[in-house]
Structure 1
């Protein structure tokens, strides 16, 4: 009986086994580091890296990660996730509910472009390693054959040139010169840009998703983590807008001002068919 009991206790303790954190009364250890040794000594980007990768990054790696995090925090209340956070607050939802509502819409279309772009870059890298001719073109063609003509990470509906991309690419180039990253994914990103310009006959510049995809790939993160890290960054903007809306105090703020009507496209003056008389 004792042996069976011990086996069940052992099974229960391993149900949520983790390499990330170890907690005992008066002790907290993250990836083997006592929390008191980390506090005040590492930055938040370094903590993100430690949690996700199991090791501490170099200072230059952490600085590049931090630059990407800073660049993506917000893109205004016209961004659906930000607008949703503000509307949720105006409906009486608390900050946590507003943030959850906003984060939940960061899917493949609004929020997924960075991950998708990283997948193109990784596919290009894999094709090149196999010795395929024109690996970047082949990866682009394969992505568009499966997902349609839109190439994530390039062009922008609002910015002719994304002001964030130039600065981040310059930081990547500096990191390459310092030997911090290889520059392989920066080269792939620029090749995608060149191919699109040749195909379209006009320049379609890399946007924030394309350049942060470069950074996350250069730093060795998997594409799924690229989206997760973006969500960490954008959550700061979501929180800021939700808090601003909470202080404004306006109730039930919809997607448009009441003075702007929506467009009704349904039938006019529909009538019910005549009902047959009831027989007694």
Structure 2
């Protein structure tokens, strides 16, 4: 039976001795990280157990930058609404984070799992997957997703005819040497999806973040969290702006509500 009063962790430890006051993170002193490393390097260290090389750090920084804001999104609107009700910032940020799910922001993890399995299956059949294997895996991936739900996660973004962020992220990752087989799979899936649907449905931010999280070697379950963490800065900023505008009680006007129920006799 597990001891419910103790934790076993390889992540961090607080040291408080006559010789040293410190926090140890994955074998590194936090004081050294503060002096020598940017935030993204420390985040990468936490997630993977090692410091990133320059290309990995640049790519993770670009991913977070790409997700930092995207206009008055539903999450930003929630932050602004909380501000208009006088709610504390912690509640606003928590409420906005709870929004992300299967439609937007939260599809990165299931997509990453699908891509990881597709590459594993291709490798199991043929050893190290080649270009033909990746293309075939992408076709199978798209077909399976469309059969299961009629929609391919990680593609399409209503505000854009073609969201520029995925292409810029891919450009950065290629320059940094971090775009790998999962990015290739995603691009091949984009081609197969267009051929199946008869129209372009471009990669969206969830899709490229999922592929890059895999190519960076981040643990399973990171893709959606990266989007949410970065977007918290957007929620914070929209919350603060709304507070500064002194807006009170945001709500849906009655003329925008169409009642379809019965009226009393």
Q: TM-score, normalised by structure 2?
A: 0.88
Aligned to 2:198: 201
* SS of match in other structure, 2:13: strand
Match of 1:23 among 14, 22, 38: 14
Summarize deviations over 1:108-153 as a string: whole Å, max 9, x none. 323212223222321221121122872222222333333x111111
Partner of residue 145, structure 1: 147
Match of 1:4 in 2: none
Q: Which residue of 1 aligns with 2:155?
A: 154
- For residues 19 and 222 of structure 1, what CA distance do their matches in structure 2 show? 15
- C-alpha distance in structure 2 between counterparts of 1:225 and 1:143, whole Å: 21
Query: Which 5+ residue runs of structure 2 have no aligned equivalent?
Result: 127-132
Residue correspondence of structure 1 range 1-280 to structure 2 within 5 A: 15-25=6-16, 26-77=21-72, 79-131=73-125, 134-146=136-148, 148-175=149-176, 180-181=177-178, 183-254=180-251, 256=252, 258=253, 260-267=255-262, 269-271=263-265
* Cα-to-partner distance string for 1:65-105 (whole Å, 9 max, x where unaligned): 1001000111222x221111111111110111111111112
Structure 1 residues 86 and 182, CA gap change in structure 2 (3 angstroms): closer
CA distance 1:208–1:110, shift in 2 (3 Å) = closer
Please tell me whether Structure 1 or Structure 2 has the larger radius of gyration of its CA atoms.
Answer: 1
Task: Give 1:260 shift.
Answer: 4.3
Structure 1, unaligned runs of 5 or more: 1-10, 272-280
